[in-house]
Structure 1
């Protein structure tokens, strides 16, 4: 199986560190790229601006509370773009708002996960992401 390309869209340095460390424990070999603003993520996923030759990721982990453009705006842009619309997007956010959850699902997010505060709980999150990817990938083959 090829290396899983993950795009993490997150502006909080602490959350970037926790998430990348947790993802390193995945059984699936992966490579993580990080973008810190919604605007950068939209440009990257729609391949505009400086990112016109970027290789699209296999999976996007997206925070809702981002500078410039929020995660819901990024999700809408990803899902409305022909090149990126089929890429699974997991909302990984501190928000537990029912409104955010409903909006994410309406915009076709694959999963909505509220980020845990404790590092040991991140293992559970990684297991969820890994199981999602294995099931998603199995459906493709």
Structure 2
């Protein structure tokens, strides 16, 4: 699968970073956002290593924007969602970015660990695509329409 530095317009009102290795879940999130006809740019990476490069603007992502909101799959191969979350929240230039953890796990331990590492929200993916679409739309509505997000910080 090819990594995509940007899959939307560059004049968007918010830059969203999706860190997800499952193409089906990526497609559902893209669909949820496109259905809303939002002007947000969705940037997608499929590995934890690329996610860290994106947020730190290094390697292939030196020109990547600082995300306004991160959707983070918790169960990634190699560099896990937990490791990514910890690194983002420990970095003073990134810590203010809201991170929404997406998990297919039904284990409460995963949810507790995500919140202990300062996730802003946790969402169970579930198996019903319509429910997932509705949930993502609600997240988008709250975080990008209701909540006030901080301006990106300079590194």
* Fold in common (TM above 0.5): yes
Determine the C-alpha separation between the residues in 2 that align with 1:103 and 1:135. 27
| Partner secondary structure for residue 147 of structure 2 | helix
Which position in structure 2 is the counterpart of 1:85? 95
Q: 1:1-141 maps to which residues of 2 (within 5 A)?
A: 3-26=13-36, 28-133=38-143, 134-137=145-148
Kept in 1, the 8 Å contact 2:19–2:47? The answer is yes
Cα deviations by residue, 1:14-73 (Å, 9 ceiling, x for unpaired)? 111112112212364211110001111112112333333421111000001112201010
- Distance in 1 (alpha carbons) for counterparts of 2:80 and 2:66: 20
CA RMSD between the two structures: 2.0
Of Structure 1 and Structure 2, which has the larger fraction of its residues in helix? Answer: 1
Segments of structure 2 that go 5 or more residues without pairing to the other structure are 1-11
Q: Deviations over 1:84-117 (max 9, x none)?
A: 1100000012122211111111111110000132
Q: Using a 3 Å threshold, how does the CA distance of structure 1 residues 120 and 66 change in structure 2: closer, same or farther? A: same
Task: Compute the TM-score of the two structures, normalised by the length of structure 1.
Answer: 0.87
The DSSP-based 3-state class of the residue aligned with 2:86 is helix
- Report the 3-state secondary structure (helix = DSSP H, G, I; strand = E; otherwise coil) of the residue aligned with 2:35: coil
Moved over 4 A (4+): none
| TM score, norm. by length of structure 2 | 0.80
